[in-house]
Structure 1
Amino acid sequence: MDFSFSKADEDFRMRVRDFFEHEYPREIVEKMARGHSPSKADYQTSEHALAAKGWLAVNWPKADGGTGWTANQKYIFDEELERAGALNVVPMGLLYVGPVIYTFGTEEQKKRWLPGILDSTTFWAQGYSEPGSGSDLASLQCAAVREGDEYVVNGTKIWTSLGQHADWIFCLLRSDNSGKKQEGITFLCIDMATPGITVHPIITIDGKHSLNSVTFENVRVPIENRIGEEGKGWTYANYLLGHERTSYAHVAGKRKQLEDIRTTAEQTDTGATRLIDDPAFRVKLAELEARLDALELTVLRTLATVSEGGAPGNESSILKVIATELAQDITELGMETFGPYAMPAFPDSTAPLWTDNTPLPSSAAPAVARYLGARAQSIYGGSNEIQKNILAKRVLGLP
């Protein structure tokens, strides 16, 4: 197989690379390189720069405000964004609810919500998981009771990414308990300024605040905020989850991490030899590089399916599993490589082991937080054990 890109694709790559090198906000790149958490203003600054170029909704159809790019161009764009160290877009609006709205929403809903997503003036959160309903999402019990032209919502959502920044939240809610658990689930979009909504921060083991729990107490939601039919939310959720699971790959970001690990290993002595000369270390690095190449090919196949008008489908579970397991293994090798160099850079460290005069590898700063944060990747978005069951039953046809 020929894995090279065409001249037109490579010319496109150079245009994208030039943008990130000369037009994209440098302060964002520098902040991310230091391992700092981006603020809402940082996300908006980044996305406004992309929107001004017409490059924000990469995967949307051109008719809905997207780029109209080919699968190769989309892949190249993501590759150059991560190569530059720029911020990835906030996925909840652009990658998750946006496609649901333009696929299943009414014309009025498209006019109401899509422009704010496209110009990054409206932030969205995802209300799926609940205490006790994570991987078994169909067991959710946060309730939406119909009262005339409104739904009254009561319950709790948890692990709500960037919920502290959100203007709107899209939720799966239990509107009927009489049938199978996958039935009676309704998809509602809710204004976060509605009375009765409270956001509670969750500080994770990496010292960051990106997750939250959200409680709803008699929150009244107009019926026109419902996507599609009442009780059909599971259908829309499965469509969304396909897009969500294809967004985990981050091939270029992983490749950059491996390059940083290799560079550090070439400069790090382990007694009489460099770490890169340790045969056991070289085997680990080579294995991760081979797995990353395999992930890249899987992503390209999936993007080709989407570009031809298809949905990612159950095969997106393949991406979720291999991408998250690879992310964890890369960060483990990173910890092995950076070792004590990374320890004083952890934001909660109060007793650094190194003085200010000690040279630290530039990539060591976020190593601990990245390692700790990656522990959750095989759990959120549907645990990998659940994804393997999906693959066994729906892709391989096993009983």
Structure 2
Amino acid sequence: MDLRFTPEEELFREEVRDFLRDHLPERLRHKVRHDLTMTKADMEEWHAILHARGWLASHWPEQYGGPGWTVVQRSIFEDEAARAHAPRIVPFGVGMLGPVLIKYGSEEQRRTILPRILDGRDWWCQGYSEPGAGSDLASLKTSAVRDGDHYVVNGQKTWTTLGQFANRIFCLVRTDPTAKAQEGISFLLIDMDTPGIEVRPIVLLDGDAEVNEVFFTDVRVPVANLVGEENKGWTYAKYLLTYERTNIAGVGSSMAAFDRLRAIAGKLTRGGRPLSDDPLFAARMARVEIDLANMATTNMRVIAAAAGGGAPGAESSMLKIKGTEIRQAITALTRRVYGPYAQPFMPEALEDGYNGEPVGPEDAIAAAPAYFNNRKLSIFGGSNEVQKNIISKMIVGL
């Protein structure tokens, strides 16, 4: 397989770089570069900029508002955006629900919902995990009972990322309690302002509430909000998860983070010499760099395989495992670089308008929060242990 880019693809890369240089607000670039807190307004601003250029839904077909890019162009854009420290696109509407509706939704759902995802009128969140159904998602218990032209939904979802901002949620619900676990699940679209829905923030150790619990009590949802066929939701859920897991891998983000780590290690000194010259630390960095290069090659293989129009399969599990391990290793090394300067707990320093005296280097204050927050990467989207089971079954044949 030829991993070199064509001249046309290199020209496209220059176009992307020019766009990011001219249209990515420096304020947003600074916040991403220094791991500062992104507000809802920040995320919506970048969403609107990309939508205005027609580059928001990079993997949607042109007929639904996508740019009509090849898989290689999409990869180039994602890598360059990460290296430019652009905010990551909020994935739930554009990256997860959109592909499901394009493949499995009704024409009415595509006509009415997809434009609202693009222009930002709808902010979607994901209703998958439950208190007793995380990595074992098929054991979910949130029920949806048919009552005329509606389903009546009762149950609870948890770890709902950015659910406090959402006006709509896509949910996996159990519509046939007598069927085998995966066979009795449906995929339902629900307005968050429907009576009977309550959102409770889960306050994390850093005082932030990035995730939430969502409770459903006799929530009436029109049958028209069912995606595809009743009791076939597990098929749609698996299709969505392949996109989520590939996105979690974050090849471009890892490359940008590693470049930043290498620059920091080359500037900070220990014992009169750059930390990057320390044999033990250099060996640790080399191990991550080798893994990152191998993952980038694997990612290109997946891209090449998808060039025919197919969705990523079990390969997305491979990328999810290695991608999350690499990102965790990079944040661990970054924290190690700063040493004691990474220890102070100052969440206010990550917010807009903070003018306090820095304890150490500018980036040091975010090193520990980034490290601890990224411990979740190997768990959400299906834990890495579950991904290994998928690989052993679908690729190895065990």
TM range (shorter): over 0.9
- Relative to 1, partners in 2 of residues 1:153 and 1:357: Cα closer, same or farther, differing over 3 Å? closer
Show the counterpart of 2:340: 340
Show the counterpart of 2:214: 214
Q: How far apart are the structure 2 equivalents of 1:192 and 1:98?
A: 18
Q: How far apart are the structure 1 equivalents of 2:173 and 2:357?
A: 55
Q: How far apart are the structure 2 equivalents of 1:221 and 1:255?
A: 43
> Cα deviations across residues 8-37 of structure 1 (Å, max 9, x unaligned)?
212111111111111222222223334322
Compare 290-299 and 26-35 and name the one that shifted more: 26-35
- Relative to 1, partners in 2 of residues 1:327 and 1:207: Cα closer, same or farther, differing over 3 Å? farther
Show the counterpart of 1:353: none
Q: Where does the alignment leave 5 or more consecutive residues of structure 1 unmatched?
A: 350-355
Contact 1:207 1:348 in 2 (8 A): no
Show the counterpart of 2:21: 21
> Could you say what secondary structure the match of 1:129 adopts?
coil
Show the counterpart of 1:144: 144
> Could you say what secondary structure the match of 1:216 adopts?
strand
> Could you say what secondary structure the match of 2:363 adopts?
helix
Deviation at 1:38, TM superposition (A): 1.6
Deviation at 1:206, TM superposition (A): 4.4
Contact 2:249 2:321 in 1 (8 A): no
TM-score (norm 1): 0.94
Show the counterpart of 1:155: 155
Q: How far apart are the structure 2 equivalents of 1:269 and 1:25?
A: 32
Show the counterpart of 2:383: 383
Contact 1:44 1:121 in 2 (8 A): no
Show the counterpart of 1:233: 233
TM-score (norm 2): 0.94
Contact 1:346 1:369 in 2 (8 A): no
1:120-135 matches, within 5 Å, as 120-135=120-135
Show the counterpart of 1:49: 49
Q: How far apart are the structure 2 equivalents of 1:172 and 1:357?
A: 47
**CA RMSD in angstroms, aligned pairs only:** 1.8
- Relative to 1, partners in 2 of residues 1:250 and 1:362: Cα closer, same or farther, differing over 3 Å? farther
Task: Give the counterpart letter for 1:153 in structure 2.
Answer: V
Q: Where does the alignment leave 5 or more consecutive residues of structure 2 unmatched?
A: 350-355
Deviation at 1:62, TM superposition (A): 1.7
Show the counterpart of 2:63: 63
> Cα deviations across residues 82-127 of structure 1 (Å, max 9, x unaligned)?
1111111110001111111111111111111000111222110000
Show the counterpart of 2:110: 110
Say yes or no: does 1:263 pair with 2:272: no
> Cα deviations across residues 276-295 of structure 1 (Å, max 9, x unaligned)?
11111111111101111111
1:220-369 matches, within 5 Å, as 220-344=220-344, 346-347=346-347, 360-369=360-369
Say yes or no: does 1:80 pair with 2:83: no
Contact 1:28 1:86 in 2 (8 A): yes
The number of residue pairs the alignment matches comes to: 393
Deviation at 1:195, TM superposition (A): 0.8
Q: How far apart are the structure 2 equivalents of 1:369 and 1:357?
A: 18
> Could you say what secondary structure the match of 1:247 adopts?
helix
Taking only the aligned residue pairs, the percentage that are identical comes to 48
Show the counterpart of 1:39: 39
